[in-house]
Copies of this chain bind each other. A is one copy, B any other.
Amino acid sequence: MTQTERPGFDRSDRERAEATDSTRASTAAGGDVLMAIDLADAWSVLDAAERAQGFATLPRSEAEDFFLRLPTRGQAELLLTLPASERRSFARLLAPDDAADLIQHAPHEDRAGLLALLDSATMHEVTGLLTYAEDEAGGLMTPRYARLRPEMTVSEAISYLRRYANQHRDATYYAYVLDDAQHLLGTVSFRELFAANPEDRIADVMRGDPVAVQEDLDQEAVSRLFAAHHFLALPVVDAEHRMKGVVTIDDIVDVVREEATEDIHKIGGTEALDAPYLSIGFLRMTRKRAGWLSALFVGEMLTATAMGHYEHDLARAVVLALFIPLIISSGGNSGSQATTLVIRAMALHEVGLRDWWRVIRRELASGLVLGAILAVIGLVRILAWQAMFQSYGEHFFLIGLTVALSLIGVVTFGTLAGSMLPFLLRRLGFDPASASAPFVATLVDVTGLVIYFTVASVVLSGTLL
């Protein structure tokens, strides 16, 4: 990120509003802050040795801050380049969920070593978190949260939370009310405690039966809950409704971005990279791209087979070849539009499986209208070129008619295929985003050729063919 790209960001102070309290005992002077910012700007173009060197020049409090702000993968890489003496103190700045993320992002051979840097309580928590998949609620949660008993009074709870707030730096603003067996009974926000009568019992001021997510719920579903209900934090429970931890909304922002990135990559016809473009290894990236590209290429070979069937028609009317790219690409573009709209609407839960009939009706109408628009443009183009350059011989009108009718057919087919493919994939249990635009384009290319030559054989029969 460069300075000019963040016009409204007050650069004189980039301190986190939360979670790094103890690391900033000494307020950084302007010069130091600028150094950390320069390093952040240059970070992506530095190699590992330059990064370690730049990092070593930062004053301690700036270095801690800088470390905490790096993305997880960057933290893991940096930590491994630090002298052994410093690793431990930086690793211990991390909250347990962040430490677990970092260990999951590190190469296999370094994981045990990184885990050993933590203090024993955190190591225990992190080991528990590492049993969850990264993309489920359990993998997102922190195991640290404020616990209250239902029989406490509000004033007892406040004095307990006061001590808790002094010792912990996690940013949640709810306390969770548990019974002896760790079952979740209710929640109470710090703000509600402010507002309550000090003699009231927690059981009377808490919200009972709170919304909670199961520990194995997929992170995409968790993020939809946050988006729909504007929660700041959600408790995570196991199958017996025992409290396991808390997912906070700041982690959800990352999840929403990650999920969108995955979908965008798939729509673009590549496997999700799962890493920033510039930091992923060349071979790994090429492999992720080559797989889909080769699959599409093999599918596209059907066009050569289809064209083979029409080779005699083509030999008699070479003029037909001129419009092949135009026709198949129009089908591909309209299919790409339709599939993208439907995939995104499904991801946002605006469209579900049962809506397929409404979608098909809409897309049939859309396809006919869009096809007719392109048909008119195409016909005008052919008539104009004929008038100006006599490009298409005596049967120019029949050729124009062939192109126009084919466009209506191809665009309608592309639109329908593009919109229905995500439904089919989802019905079969696949990710609809895999119905990537290039995949639809390939499907439509083959069909487009068949439509074009079929229309041609009807319209041009007795003249050119």
Does A116 touch B at the CB level, under 8 Å?
A: no
Does A381 touch B at the CB level, under 8 Å?
A: yes
Q: How far is the CA of A44 from the CA of B328 in the complex (A)?
A: 35
**Contact residues, A84-124 vs B (CB, 8 A):** none
Pick the contact of A300: B8, B261, B326, B341 (CB < 8 A): B326
18 A–B pairs (Cβ distance < 8 Å), ordered by A: A2-B352, A8-B217, A17-B211, A69-B229, A190-B194, A256-B257, A268-B336, A268-B339, A277-B345, A278-B358, A278-B359, A289-B366, A293-B330, A294-B373, A301-B381, A304-B381, A332-B441, A333-B441
Interface contact A369-B17, CB-CB below 8 Å = no
Interface size class of A (residues with CB under 8 A): 35 or more
Interface contact A365-B276, CB-CB below 8 Å = no
Q: 6 closest Cβ contacts across the A-B interface?
A: A268-B340, A8-B217, A8-B214, A260-B260, A277-B345, A303-B325
Interface 0/1 of A296-336, CB less than 8 Å to B: 11101101100110010011001101111110111011101
Pick the contact of A324: B14, B252, B292, B324 (CB < 8 A): B324
Interface contact B260-A264, CB-CB below 8 Å = yes
Interface contact B278-A231, CB-CB below 8 Å = no
Contacts of A200 in B (CB 8 A): none
Interface contact A377-B268, CB-CB below 8 Å = no
A326-B297, A332-B438, A351-B277 known; A253+B269 contact, CB < 8 A: no
Interface contact A221-B6, CB-CB below 8 Å = yes
Which of the 9-residue segments A46-54, A127-135, A166-174 touches chain B?
A166-174
Contacts of A358 in B (CB 8 A): 45, 278
Interface 0/1 of A264-294, CB less than 8 Å to B: 1101111001001111001001100110111
Interface contact A330-B300, CB-CB below 8 Å = yes
Given contacts A6-B221, A268-B344, A297-B330, 18 further A-B contacts (CB under 8 A): A8-B217, A10-B209, A12-B209, A14-B211, A15-B211, A17-B232, A17-B234, A18-B230, A171-B230, A230-B250, A232-B232, A256-B260, A257-B348, A282-B362, A286-B366, A289-B370, A292-B337, A300-B325
